[in-house]
Amino acid sequence: MKPIRMQVTALGGRIMAGHTNKAGTQLTEGSRQDVTSDFMKCLLQKAEHHGAGFEILGDGKRWDVTVKELSAMAAKEAGPEHVCSGCGAKGWTGNCLECIPY
């Protein structure tokens, strides 16, 4: 059974999976499948499993992967109907510490 490898396309950054050629440098025609959506779903599931973040170690390097749900972040952003509890200004004006949306 041939192993399945993954590569990122140069132009679109799509994640492709498939079998490699004999040299192991390219995915062979007919075996390539776009797995970008599946990969992203797995990445989110892994981050949720590890409490929204994890580390990747490889080739002597270390990466920190942190995932934040946008709808949770958007809850802090208020529209023009927001009235500051500190200075009474409408919106996020930055007039006082309560007017800063973070």
Question: What are the start-end ranges of the E strands in the chain?
Answer: 5-8, 15-18, 33-34, 53-58, 61-66
Q: What is the pLDDT of residues 31-47, one digit of tens each?
A: 888 888 888 888 888 88
Question: Confidence band (pLDDT; 50, 70, 90) for 102?
Answer: low
What is the pLDDT of the chain when averaged over all its residues?
A: 79
Q: What is the mean pLDDT of residues 59-70?
A: 86
pLDDT bracket for residue 100 (50, 70, 90): low
- Model confidence, pTM: 0.55
Tell me which residue has tokens 């007919």: 30
Distance of CA 98 to the CA centre of its chain: 30
Helical H segments across the chain, by residue range: 36-49, 70-74
